Amino acid sequence: MKVFVTGFKGFLGNAFSKLLLQHSYEVVGYDLPEDIRDREKVSASVNGCDCVFHFAAVADLNYARLHPYETLDINIMGTASVAEACSKHNVPLNFISTGCVYGNNGVSVSDEESPKHPTEIYAYSKLAAEQIVEAYHVNDGLNYNILRPSTFYGPNMRKELAIYIFLECAKNNKPLLIHGSGKQTRTFTYIDDVVDALLKCVDKPLNQTFNVAGTEETSILDLAHNCCRVVGFAPPIRHIEDRHGQIFHEAVSIEKAQKLLGWTPKWNLDKGLEATYQWICQQK
């Protein structure tokens, strides 16, 4: 089975591609400097594949904020390019969205039908891209899955992400800086759990949207303390100005993924932080 993967050099795309290879799938990778908006090239690449996983996107929140037009162009029109190619060649599309689409919606635990109130340009672009995928399904019969991962982490994660920063600062006995009160929560999800959920979608286009998340809702302040505990140092924790577009509460239901995909996360936060810290210590 041949699987086309956009953004296969990124954190999540790379981890998923490795898992596909371990399960004897053939992987066709597409990444920078290849432009996902190049409709002819994308179409030619999709032709002959059995399914598509679309990861390629502007994902850095700070970059997206500073470059809104580029973010919208790549994340929305790039997805349209992939959806068009999948529709043309009758290839199922698995689109990787984000749990950030729920934003600050006032719901205690968000399921896939909960209100969407994005707080920043990145999440808006992903929500618009979801609607494009659904439009190709309605208009042309495109088969798809939409996956909304919550905040994920693990070996090979980007250095700009909070868990990496906290572990690295604790390792070097430097202060951990927290935006705002630190009471904002996340459902941190270990990378192996995320790619395991995606693997279950390879031959199962259900025309559905799925949350992919861990089961522990953790405050950023507690995360900082946990990172210090894992490292074995207790540097000071300092609060700085809150981040623009802050999501104050992230908790999602994974009941649908459990029921229809047969997926349940296996990693808890403590185990995941320890594995991530071991990886950081191995870096030169």
Do the Cβ atoms of 30 and 5 come closer than 8 Å?
yes
Report pLDDT digits (tens) over 218-267. Answer: 999 999 999 999 999 999 999 999 998 999 999 999 999 999 999 999 99
Q: What is the largest CA-CA distance in the chain?
A: 57
Tell me the HSE value of 98 on the side-chain side, using a 13 A CA sphere: 29
Establish whether the linkage from the previous residue to 33 is cis, with ω within 30° of 0.
Answer: yes
- pLDDT greater than 80 at residue 21: yes
Report pLDDT digits (tens) over 109-152. Answer: 999 999 999 999 999 999 999 999 999 999 999 999 999 999 99
pLDDT of residue 32: 78
- Taking residues 268-284, report their average pLDDT: 95
Go through the domains of the chain in sequence order and give each one's CATH number.
Answer: 2-155+190-216 (3.40.50.720)
pLDDT of residue 139: 97
pLDDT of residue 33: 82
pLDDT of residue 34: 83
For a pLDDT cut of 90, what percent of the chain falls above it? 97
- pLDDT greater than 80 at residue 41: yes
b (16+ CB within 10 A) / e for 180-211 = eebebbbbbbbbbbbbbbbbebbebbeebbbb
Beta bridge partners of 27: 3
- pLDDT greater than 70 at residue 198: yes
The total of other beta-carbon atoms located within 10 Å of residue 258's CB is 13
pLDDT of residue 284: 64
As a whole number, the mean pLDDT across the chain is 97
